[in-house]
Amino acid sequence: MTGGRDAEADAAVRPGERSSVQPPMAMLAELTYRCPLSCPYCSNPIEMAQREAELPTPAWTALMAEAARLGVLHVHLSGGEPASRRDLVEIVAAAHAADLYTNLITSGIGLTEKRLDALGAAGLEHVQLSLQGVDAAMADTIGGYRGGFDRKMQVAQWVRARDFPLTLNAVMHRRNLDRLEETIDLAVAMGARRIEVATVQFHGWADRNRAALMPTRAQAREATRIVHAARERLKGTLVIDYVPADHHADYPKPCMGGWGSTGLNVTPDGRVMPCHAAHTIPGLEFPRAGQTPLRDIWYDSAAFNAFRGFDWMQEPCRSCDRRTVDFGGCRCQAMAVTGDPAATDPVCTKSPHRPALVARAEADAGSDAPLVYRAGP
Ligand code: SF4
Ligand code: FES
């Protein structure tokens, strides 16, 4: 990959823009909400765009070039399951031709050796494989797809045989956190260079399954110990990215690196949003790719400017030293818990909503609620 944020992109930036808002680094392209799996923590919305509403091939290929001109460096091809799109190779080729670094985020279902060869020839540079569990019994139960685990192990071998760098994406929750050590060992055995140990974030279907998935406080603490020990033990072998359970943390995560600061998400039907859950914030309207120039959406749209910078903040964030570290946390979580998207993330110890959040998390963690599986579009 060479940089998309080059002289051409810089020259195209309007006078005055660069001083306040930088171009986005990454674009998450949700090519489709279709998926053979039905993970109960899927971040896709409960109400999904139907197949007929998906952007056609020329719209996606044009968007890749437009994103590169805006300054985007990386495109993450996601879904749903992006391999459900028959035109995936064409879209990868367009992204590669636009000089974007291409990462495929996939369950592996729908990939064959022939298709991986075609994707490699089209310029695919990285594969990120989801991992639902460490064995077939666990993974197939959580993913709601029998045979998925065995298929995934096969796909991982094909990926490694073709020398694609492999990252595993392991969403952890109450039902699999006790096997975190095995999860990390499996990543090494599969030849992954990196694993994202991501404790479930409660958006989309995960929010509906909050009681079934919420980790216990003891699990959250033990997970942090395991990750720190594994990072030491596996230095030079495996990089471990870690998203801890924020309901059991003192401060929120810097969601999206700050609203409208580093990346944009495009939904299957072309809406361009600052994050995958932004549609849950009432009053925000999201322009569509192909109808409004991406540059105008990024710099000028009301949705992308809604929570940029610090002026929108309320106390205690407004005068807090950590506002440049976590940007007040997650706007969508603030909305979901407090009903006010400009509120301090309720995870924060300084939020007046924190005690209620913790009490609810403790209650959820002790629940025996069944899993509700994601339904397809
Ligand atoms: Fe972050 Fe706001 Fe909490 Fe300060 S008050 S730590 S800025 S969420
Ligand atoms: Fe929307 Fe965090 S998911 S700001």
Please give the chain's pLDDT, 377 residues, in tens. 333 444 444 444 444 344 589 999 999 999 999 999 999 999 888 877 677 799 999 999 999 999 999 999 999 999 999 999 999 999 999 999 999 999 999 999 999 999 999 999 999 999 999 999 999 999 999 999 999 999 999 999 999 999 999 999 999 999 999 999 999 999 999 999 999 999 999 988 999 999 999 999 999 999 999 999 999 999 999 999 999 998 878 999 999 999 999 999 999 999 999 999 999 999 999 999 999 999 999 999 999 999 999 999 999 999 999 999 999 999 999 999 999 999 999 999 999 999 999 999 999 999 999 999 998 77
Nearest to 96 by CA among 78, 71, 115, 75: 75
Q: Which residue's CA is the nearest one to ligand 1's atom 1?
A: 328
Which is the closest atom of ligand 2 to the Cα of 330?
2
Q: What is the DSSP letter of 341?
A: T
Find out whether the beta carbon of 284 lies less than 6 Å from any atom of ligand 2: no
Q: Among all chains, which residue has been given the structure tokens 């924190």?
A: 354
**Cα distance between residue 316 and residue 113, in whole Å:** 54
Question: Ligand 2: which of 280, 333, 348 to mutate, most ligand atoms within 8 Å of CB?
Answer: 333
Find the ligand nearest to 203 CA. Answer: 2
**Cα distance between residue 145 and residue 222, in whole Å:** 29
Per DSSP, helices labelled H in the chain are: 7-12, 17-20, 57-70, 88-97, 113-122, 136-143, 148-161, 180-189, 204-208, 210-213, 217-233, 294-300, 302-305, 323-326, 331-338, 354-365
Per the structure block, which two tokens stand in for 251?
């401060």
**Cα distance between residue 124 and residue 245, in whole Å:** 32
Q: Which residue's CA is the nearest one to ligand 2's atom 1?
A: 332
**Site residues for ligand 1, CB cut-off 6 Å:** 251-252, 316-317, 320, 322-323, 326, 328-329, 344-345, 348, 350
**Cα distance between residue 55 and residue 291, in whole Å:** 12
Distance of CA 295 to the CA centre of its chain: 22
End-to-end alpha carbon distance in the chain: 34
- Cβ-based burial of 260 (10 A; exposed 0-12, middle 13-18, buried ≥19): buried
Considering Cα of 249, then 251, then 337, then 32, what sign does the dihedral take? negative
Nearest to 329 by CA among 315, 312, 346, 316: 346
Q: Which residue's CA is the nearest one to ligand 1's atom 6?
A: 322
**Cα distance between residue 212 and residue 372, in whole Å:** 8
Q: Any idea what the Cα angle at residue 277 is, between residues 271 and 282, rounded to 5°? A: 80
Contact 271, 288 (CB under 8 A): yes
